[in-house]
Amino acid sequence: MKGAAMALGVLVALFAIWEVAVRALAVKPVILPPPSAIFAELAGDPLWYLRHAWYTLIVTLGGFALALVMGVMLAIAIVESRLLEKTIYALIVGLNSVPKVAVAPLFVIWLGTGAEPKIAIGFLIAVFAIVIDMVLGLKSVPPDILDLARSLRGGRMATLWRIRFPCALPSLFAGMKVAISLALVGAIVGEFVSSQRGLGYVILSAQGTFDTARVFAAILVLGVMGVALFWLVTLAERLAIPWHASQKEYLPTA
């Protein structure tokens, strides 16, 4: 919490420098509005921003949840099957380097202009992080622990469930932290391509009228949302894997 307070202090200081610099140098508001104008824009109709932010949040969480479920199932299938590892996993690693944003217009053609194509894009961008980190986690079980499971005559499913899966959790959470931010990127890209709602739509329409303060206001809300989502995943991690070395500061030692 002390770290969070300090980060907030730095942010306030940056806003202050920004405010002073814009005024002193007489920068046109259409190029760079001062923070005070951005906050005034937000305060003008907070409910309107909240409504759009809510839409973007739902789309983001939809894409993230889909990526999490599908990604974990895919990773398990890949680790359990040599054939899938050689085919699908190789393909996934390759496809990860293709800019997924480029296929966004296709989803609009396929799924229309509702929430579905945005969720689909969020899913597509986020799922790679989940699959790749989960596969890594499932495969990083120390060999003596696998020997232990065999010596206890553990079957494939029991070993997967009792050994591999918990062992992969720290890696999965690392993937989830990346994926939650990527799902937000996906949601915004989806809203850019076609939408009448969401923060992506707010940014795009404000850009059309050169309402720079509104663009910044939407970006600010997005920033807060991104940080909050990341923090939620971190909180879930702390609750789910209190035993892991990354959580050591919360665990007393004997």
Partner 1 sequence: MSARSAAGIEVRRLRKQFGGLSALEEVSLSIAPGEFVSVLGPSGCGKSTLLRCIAGLERPSSGQVTVDDTPVNAPPAGLGMVFQRDALLEWRTVADNLLLPVDFRRGDRAAARRRAAQLLAMTALEGFEQSYPAQLSGGMRQRVALCRALVDDPVLLLMDEPFGALDALTRDQMNIELQRLWLAERKTVLFVTHSITEAIFLGDRVVVFTPRPGRIAEVLDIALPRPRRLAVRGGGEFIAYASRVRGLFEDMGLLREEA
- Is 140 an interacting residue with respect to partner 1 (CB under 8 A)? no
Nearer to partner 1, 111 or 241 (CB): 241
- Residue 155 CB, nearest approach to partner 1 (Å): 8
Under rule CB under 8 A, residue 236 binds partner 1: no
Comparing CB distances to partner 1, the nearer of 210 and 243 is 243
Identity of the amino acid at 246: S
Look up tokens 């932010």; give the residue.
53
254 interacts with partner 1 by CB under 8 A = yes
Q: Judged by CB, which is closer to partner 1: 36, or 247?
A: 247
Terminal Cα-to-Cα distance of the chain (whole angstroms): 25
Among 51, 86, 156, 248, binds partner 1 (CB under 8 A): 248
For residue 87, the one-letter residue type is T
- Residue 177 in the binding site for partner 1 (CB under 8 A): no
- What's the 3-state SS for 38-83? HHHHHHHCHHHHHHHHHHHHHHHHHHHHHHHHHHHHHHHHHHHCHH
Shortest Å distance, C-beta 49 to partner 1: 42
Is the alpha carbon torsion for 186, 192, 197, 201 positive or negative? positive
Q: Are 73 and 88 in contact (CB under 8 A)?
A: no
Q: Taken in order 134, 138, 139, 145, is the CA torsion positive or negative?
A: positive
Structure tokens at 230: 């990341």
Binds partner 1 (CB under 8 A): choice among 29, 36, 85, 166: 166
> Per rule CB under 8 A, is residue 162 in the interface with partner 1?
yes
The answer to whether 43 contacts partner 1 (rule: CB under 8 A) is no
- Minimum CB distance to partner 1, residue 131 (Å): 22
Q: Decide if residue 220 touches partner 1 (CB under 8 A).
A: no
Quote the longest CA-to-CA distance of the chain: 75
The Cα 41–Cα 17 span in angstroms is 20
- Cβ-Cβ contacts under 8 Å for 13 (sequence gap 6 or more): none
Please select the residue that binds partner 1; options are 5, 31, 144, 249, rule is CB under 8 A: 144
Nearer to partner 1 by Cβ, of 48 and 243: the residue is 243
CB 134 within 8 A of CB 168: yes
- Output 105 or 142, the one with its CB closest to partner 1: 142
* Residue 163 found at the interface with partner 1 (CB under 8 A): yes
The footprint of partner 1 on residues 62-101 (CB under 8 A) is none
Please give the residue ranges that form the binding site for partner 1 (CB under 8 A). Answer: 142, 144-145, 147-154, 158, 162-163, 166-167, 169, 241-245, 248, 251-254
